[in-house]
Chain A
């Protein structure tokens, strides 16, 4: 186990180097000059040169990459060309926002998928099972921004229950939990819909699988309460693939927020990358993609660990 974790952790920097190299090459191989975008067309040659020098853009490509990588190792992601702030400062602003949104989306996915998946598996071919199937099928088909617009239309415009833009901020916490949670509801549902569909389907099928096992019959024959049988014997086992999938999906959620951030004007990681791409803000693009990729990799490792932790049969 320890050796397996160590091996996986050693791979992380390797994959990150490949990822950063790819980002680097893509940004440099495509047209667009950050300095020109930043300073505009009418600047003097000297000013442009000075700026290029400042951001090492006058050096050869291998030099640029090695310089950047060297700084990253010591925790310095460089400075934004556009905003002139350190990339780490920007990250400190954006990452918590994205994490909150991702957590809200995942919370919604778990809240819906666990009861729905279990109920559908227990009552196969009943109305709840059909509801579950319909829900997952729709969840796979609807684009999250379309769902967001529908929810805004119904709950913000028609019913006027929920705010149209923004998500909760830490300051709102002083106004009570509800003021903080309220703005999260629509973005969370829109963002978590696909994950809900994936997780519900997974839990339903793994529940059905577990329910047909011999030990379920034994548990029932022992005269255990039906609720105990379902929760302790069935759900606990069915949760193993579920938890792993939830961890993997959580790793994805930071990266798929772009459209939701765009609709709700949320200053998250996605919109930062979007702006950086438009402005060719190389340090920001590289720094942010690195963090997003690292987040995804660690979520995957966490998924593997949870798998081994929950299922004693699995040994790495």
Chain B
């Protein structure tokens, strides 16, 4: 058989849904920007000892409350510490809390949501009433109360925010599970005699993964803001450790003299959350095949 003609022998590999989504993602320009920004913030935080120009906690009273300059890009605070360096180091706390909360919410929320949605009945009723009860607490107040009771410690901050976010994720997963539970492939798997665990893990979970991923970006953004709020109120990171929220709280006393002290952390929190939100939007579109066609038609003629 000639190689030129489209031959049945040359197998056409159907790209996996993940590969398709990966190809789709960069088309969402804002999402790409968000991804790059987030990556930059993460890298800066991870490589803080090499990236940060100054020691974030070393006190230099000689150079306190200096406005932004070539030496100190974002100025210095009331102890003469470099604001830019503190932002980079503070990112470690915020981002690791965000990541841990995502992991926590995933391990708690997803199994609960799957069980609730798939088995329904009494399990569902019990779990969802519990979720309802959790959600009647204002999220921030609940987190503050938990950290206040457990003690201001980064693990407790993570735990408190995670406990607030997990029920929300569970509810999202439950909703999506309910939607696919009666799909044909699930019925088929059941007819073939697959056990419930297998159906849930290999058929349902796969198909509710995209709402989960999108919701996890929401969880991450919420966690970053919640951590900053807790630290702002004095319930999170303790001084002198750098923290976006805590530094803003300190900056309150120098609003008139050193506005860069509160503007810098506010800006970085916004940038971080914006990036995550754009990333989430992009993932939502990339993971939803129904959204592709319209975008493709709008963007260009490529097939």
Which A residues fall within an 8 A CB radius of B? 14-15, 18-19, 22, 26-27, 30-32, 137-138, 140-143, 145-147, 149-150, 152-153, 157, 252, 254-256, 258-259, 262-263, 270, 273-274, 277-278, 280, 285, 289, 292-293, 296-297
Stretch in B71-79, B139-147, B174-182, B289-297 touching the partner: B139-147
- The listed residue with most A CB atoms (<10 A of its CB), out of B136, B139, B228, is B136
Complex contacts, B138 vs chain A, CB 8 Å: 252, 254-256, 292, 296
Cβ < 8 Å to A, chain B residues 213-268: 221, 225, 228-229, 232-233, 245, 248, 251-252, 255-256, 259, 262-263, 265-266
- Partner of A31 from the list B129, B137, B151, B229 (CB cut-off 8 Å) is B151
Q: Is B150 an interface residue (CB 8 A)?
A: yes
Given the complex of chains A and B, what is the CA–CA distance between A293 and B137 in angstroms? 6
- The listed residue with most A CB atoms (<10 A of its CB), out of B233, B248, B274, is B233
Complex contacts, A147 vs chain B, CB 8 Å: 266
- Partner of B274 from the list A26, A137, A262 (CB cut-off 8 Å) is A137
Q: Is B93 an interface residue (CB 8 A)?
A: no
Given the complex of chains A and B, what is the CA–CA distance between A262 and B149 in angstroms? 19
- Check if B137 sits within 8 Å of A141, measured CB to CB: no
- Check if A140 sits within 8 Å of B277, measured CB to CB: yes
A-B contact pairs, 28 of them (CB 8 A): A15-B129, A18-B129, A22-B134, A26-B145, A31-B151, A142-B269, A143-B228, A143-B266, A145-B245, A145-B248, A146-B265, A146-B270, A149-B266, A152-B255, A153-B255, A153-B259, A153-B262, A255-B139, A256-B138, A256-B141, A258-B141, A259-B229, A262-B233, A273-B144, A274-B233, A277-B145, A278-B148, A285-B145
- Check if A150 sits within 8 Å of B263, measured CB to CB: yes
- Check if A263 sits within 8 Å of B252, measured CB to CB: yes
Q: Is B115 an interface residue (CB 8 A)?
A: no
A201 CB to closest chain B CB (Å) equals: 12
B273 CB to closest chain A CB (Å) equals: 4
- Check if B273 sits within 8 Å of A273, measured CB to CB: no
Complex contacts, A15 vs chain B, CB 8 Å: 129, 132-133, 136
- Check if A157 sits within 8 Å of B256, measured CB to CB: yes
| Contacts A18-B130, A30-B150, A32-B149 given; does A149 touch B251 at CB 8 Å | yes
| Contacts A149-B262, A262-B233, A263-B252 given; does A273 touch B130 at CB 8 Å | no
| Contacts A30-B150, A273-B145, A277-B148 given; does A255 touch B140 at CB 8 Å | yes
- Partner of B141 from the list A27, A138, A153, A255 (CB cut-off 8 Å) is A255
- Check if A141 sits within 8 Å of B273, measured CB to CB: yes
- Partner of B136 from the list A31, A32, A296 (CB cut-off 8 Å) is A296
- Check if B136 sits within 8 Å of A293, measured CB to CB: yes
Given the complex of chains A and B, what is the CA–CA distance between A263 and B251 in angstroms? 12
Complex contacts, B137 vs chain A, CB 8 Å: 19, 255, 289, 292-293
- Check if B255 sits within 8 Å of A157, measured CB to CB: yes
Chain B residue nearest to A259 (CB atoms) is: B229
Complex contacts, A146 vs chain B, CB 8 Å: 248, 262, 265-266, 269-270
A-B complex: 5 closest residue pairs judged by Cβ atoms: A255-B138, A277-B148, A146-B266, A30-B149, A141-B273
Given the complex of chains A and B, what is the CA–CA distance between A22 and B262 in angstroms? 37
Complex contacts, B225 vs chain A, CB 8 Å: 143
A187 CB to closest chain B CB (Å) equals: 14
5 additional A-B pairs beyond A31-B149, A137-B277, A256-B138, beta carbons within 8 Å, are: A26-B145, A32-B149, A141-B274, A146-B265, A150-B262
Given the complex of chains A and B, what is the CA–CA distance between A19 and B256 in angstroms? 43
Given the complex of chains A and B, what is the CA–CA distance between A169 and B252 in angstroms? 24
Given the complex of chains A and B, what is the CA–CA distance between A140 and B140 in angstroms? 15
Given the complex of chains A and B, what is the CA–CA distance between A158 and B266 in angstroms? 18
Given the complex of chains A and B, what is the CA–CA distance between A31 and B255 in angstroms? 37
Given the complex of chains A and B, what is the CA–CA distance between A200 and B274 in angstroms? 18
B253 CB to closest chain A CB (Å) equals: 11
- Check if A26 sits within 8 Å of B149, measured CB to CB: yes
| Contacts A137-B277, A256-B140, A277-B148 given; does A142 touch B270 at CB 8 Å | yes
Complex contacts, A293 vs chain B, CB 8 Å: 136-137
- Check if B133 sits within 8 Å of A18, measured CB to CB: yes
Given the complex of chains A and B, what is the CA–CA distance between A157 and B255 in angstroms? 8
Complex contacts, B221 vs chain A, CB 8 Å: 141
Complex contacts, B232 vs chain A, CB 8 Å: 143, 145, 259, 262
Complex contacts, A252 vs chain B, CB 8 Å: 138
Chain A residue nearest to B275 (CB atoms) is: A141
Given the complex of chains A and B, what is the CA–CA distance between A147 and B262 in angstroms? 10
Given the complex of chains A and B, what is the CA–CA distance between A297 and B259 in angstroms? 40
| Contacts A138-B270, A263-B252 given; does A19 touch B277 at CB 8 Å | no
A152 CB to closest chain B CB (Å) equals: 6
Complex contacts, B245 vs chain A, CB 8 Å: 143, 145
B286 CB to closest chain A CB (Å) equals: 19
- Check if B141 sits within 8 Å of A292, measured CB to CB: yes
A277 CB to closest chain B CB (Å) equals: 3
